[in-house]
């Protein structure tokens, strides 16, 4: 297998990782990414196959668990009870509880509330240049997930702060300061939710937190730690990626001078998700010795699945570096696949569809006011700011 070298914090790579992906893929389905000291799947075929292969999973195999660093305890406690980090049967039980709230029908019912939110935010746009990421792309997913869960919207600045600090743990630029901030955020977030859950026990509503509290009270289905970790996961995952899918998408449209009103909106959303997804890498552990694409994985080996590379695979998409919202839709890997396939995919798609449609209807002359730059946050791919004049 070919060894490739590429620092994930190299400024050129941060701005445009796709040339690296192409050169890595030219060596085959798998490469050894030296900087991560991991085998990485770079073709669409390999990424899809590994996402669906039950001999690989997210939970660290028992004998490879390391003693937890004390300073990270609050963050690790949330992780340990998160469905994203679980495998069956725990994963099956936790996922079934949240899936009831994320059916396509349930999500479609949110349309009027999301539409209203988009319009309200646009009413507040200033006449001078402003950051669309902050004024629009962030607010739609964070407020929508608060409404769905039943958490007060006024809490959203805290939720954003806690969430950013916690997800920074997955970024290549992680330092000891990142770890301390993530632990503090996890502690504050847990304290807020524990308090809020107590308040909500005697105040049931038609929202997800009420249903999760009921499941916890029934005992077997959900423990207290799992209840808190599930709420944190939904609140964090519910906005982090959607914000940047929207931001990256609007940036591409404005740079290319494309108007969503001339596109099929569903195809446009899929092309935005394929072309410049917000999450580029997830990892899996091998649960047994297994040979794939000529490489022998041993139990406990980690493999990186490069979603951003899979989406630009020329064996699946013609001229993959061209943004073409009219191309036939082929399932891309931006929402993952297999057991951990994104619970929020229908919600994210709804938000993107409505946010793009309303933005360009209401602001037909919207244009970039400054060159947008990507943040140094690999494997997350999102802009620092998106300054526009509406
Ligand atoms: C465009 C926006 C989004 C993208 C690109 C995205 C992407 C992903 C990906 C790739 C995974 C799988 C990770 C893996 O296989 O290791 C995932 C899982 C997940 N996502 Fe999303 N997501 C988005 C929006 C959302 C939203 C709005 C929610 C709402 C709550 C959400 C909730 C979740 C949850 C709970 C999981 C864990 C599922 C499991 O482990 O079974 N996501 N997401």
The string of DSSP codes covering 287-346 is SS-EEETTEEEPTT-EEEEEHHHHTT-TTTSSSTTS--TTSPP---STT--GGG--TTHH
106 in helix, strand or coil? helix
This model's pTM is above 0.75? yes
Using an 8 Å Cβ cutoff, are 245 and 272 in contact? yes
Most informative mutation of 93, 241, 333, 355 for ligand 1 (most atoms within 8 A of CB): 241
Task: Supply the pLDDT for residue 96.
Answer: 92
Nearest to 369 by CA among 259, 278, 255: 255
Using an 8 Å Cβ cutoff, are 207 and 150 in contact? yes
Ligand 1 and 107: CB distance under 6 A: no
297 pLDDT band, cuts 50/70/90, is very high
Q: Using CA positions, which residue lies closest to atom 2 of ligand 1?
A: 242
Report d(CA 113, CA 121) in Å as an integer. 12
5 pLDDT band, cuts 50/70/90, is very high
- For 12, the token pair is 């050129």
Report d(CA 222, CA 209) in Å as an integer. 12
115 in helix, strand or coil? helix
Does 59 score more than 80 pLDDT? yes
Task: Supply the pLDDT for residue 8.
Answer: 97
- For 343, the token pair is 């619970």
Using an 8 Å Cβ cutoff, are 297 and 39 in contact? yes
Using an 8 Å Cβ cutoff, are 347 and 356 in contact? no
Q: Which helix (H) or strand (E) element contains residue 75?
A: helix 73-80
Which ligand 1 atom is at minimum distance from the Cα of 233? 35
Cβ-count burial of 157 within 10 angstroms (0-12 exposed, 13-18 middle, 19+ buried)? exposed
Alpha-carbon torsion, ordered 13, 44, 28, 313, to 10 deg: -60
Ligand 1 and 285: CB distance under 6 A: no
Report d(CA 255, CA 56) in Å as an integer. 40
Does 325 score more than 90 pLDDT? yes
Q: Using CA positions, which residue lies closest to atom 1 of ligand 1?
A: 242
- For 209, the token pair is 């937190």
Ligand 1 and 236: CB distance under 6 A: no
203 pLDDT band, cuts 50/70/90, is very high
318 pLDDT band, cuts 50/70/90, is very high
Report d(CA 225, CA 77) in Å as an integer. 8
Q: Using CA positions, which residue lies closest to atom 42 of ligand 1?
A: 344
Alpha-carbon torsion, ordered 5, 9, 11, 15, to 10 deg: 90
Most informative mutation of 344, 351, 355, 380 for ligand 1 (most atoms within 8 A of CB): 344
Report d(CA 9, CA 199) in Å as an integer. 43
Ligand 1 and 334: CB distance under 6 A: yes
| Residue 365, phi then psi, degrees to nearest 5 | -100, 15
List, as own/partner pairs, every contact residues 177-183 make where C-beta atoms lie below 8 angstroms and the sequence separation is at least 24, other chains included: 179/69, 179/71, 179/72, 179/75, 180/71, 182/72, 182/75, 183/71, 183/72, 183/73, 183/74, 183/75
Q: How far is the CA of 209 from the centre of ligand 1 (A)?
A: 19
Which ligand 1 atom is at minimum distance from the Cα of 352? 1
Does 255 score more than 90 pLDDT? yes
68 pLDDT band, cuts 50/70/90, is confident
């Amino acid at each position: 297998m070919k060894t490739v070298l590429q620092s994930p914090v190299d400024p050129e790579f941060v701005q445009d990782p796709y040339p690296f992906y192409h050169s890595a893929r030219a060596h085959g389905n798998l490469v050894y990414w030296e900087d991560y000291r991991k085998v990485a799947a770079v073709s669409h075929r390999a990424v899809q196959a590994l996402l669906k292969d039950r001999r690989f999973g997210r939970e660290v195999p028992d004998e490879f668990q390391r003693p937890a660093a004390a300073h990270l305890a609050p963050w690790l406690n949330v992780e340990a009870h998160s469905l994203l980090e679980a495998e069956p049967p725990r994963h099956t039980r936790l996922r079934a509880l949240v899936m009831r709230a994320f059916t396509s029908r349930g999500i479609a019912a949110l349309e009027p509330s999301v539409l209203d939110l988009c319009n309200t935010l646009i009413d507040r746009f200033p006449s001078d240049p402003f950051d669309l990421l902050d004024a629009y792309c962030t607010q739609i997913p964070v407020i929508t997930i608060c409404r769905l869960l039943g958490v007060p919207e006024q809490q959203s600045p805290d939720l954003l702060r806690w969430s950013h600090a916690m997800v920074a743990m997955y970024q290549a630029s992680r330092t000891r300061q990142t770890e301390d901030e993530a632990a503090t955020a996890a502690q504050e977030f847990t304290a807020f939710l524990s308090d809020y859950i107590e308040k909500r026990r005697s105040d049931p509503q038609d929202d997800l937190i009420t249903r999760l509290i009921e499941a916890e009270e029934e005992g077997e289905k959900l423990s207290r730690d799992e209840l808190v970790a599930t709420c944190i996961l939904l609140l964090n995952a519910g906005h982090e990626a959607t914000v940047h899918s929207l931001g990256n998408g609007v940036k591409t449209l404005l740079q290319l001078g494309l108007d969503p009103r001339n596109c099929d909106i569903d195809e446009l959303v899929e092309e935005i998700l394929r072309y410049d997804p917000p999450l580029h890498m997830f990892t899996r552990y091998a649960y047994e010795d297994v040979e794939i694409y000529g490489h022998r994985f041993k139990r406990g080996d980690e493999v990186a699945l490069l979603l951003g590379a899979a989406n630009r695979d020329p064996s699946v998409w013609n001229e993959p570096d061209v943004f073409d919202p009219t191309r036939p839709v082929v399932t891309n890997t931006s929402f993952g696949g297999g057991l951990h396939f994104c619970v929020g995919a229908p919600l994210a798609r709804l938000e993107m569809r409505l946010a793009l449609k309303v933005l360009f209807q209401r602001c037909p002359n919207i244009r970039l006011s400054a060159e947008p730059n990507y943040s140094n946050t690999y494997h997350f791919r999102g802009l620092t700011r998106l300054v526009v004049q509406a």
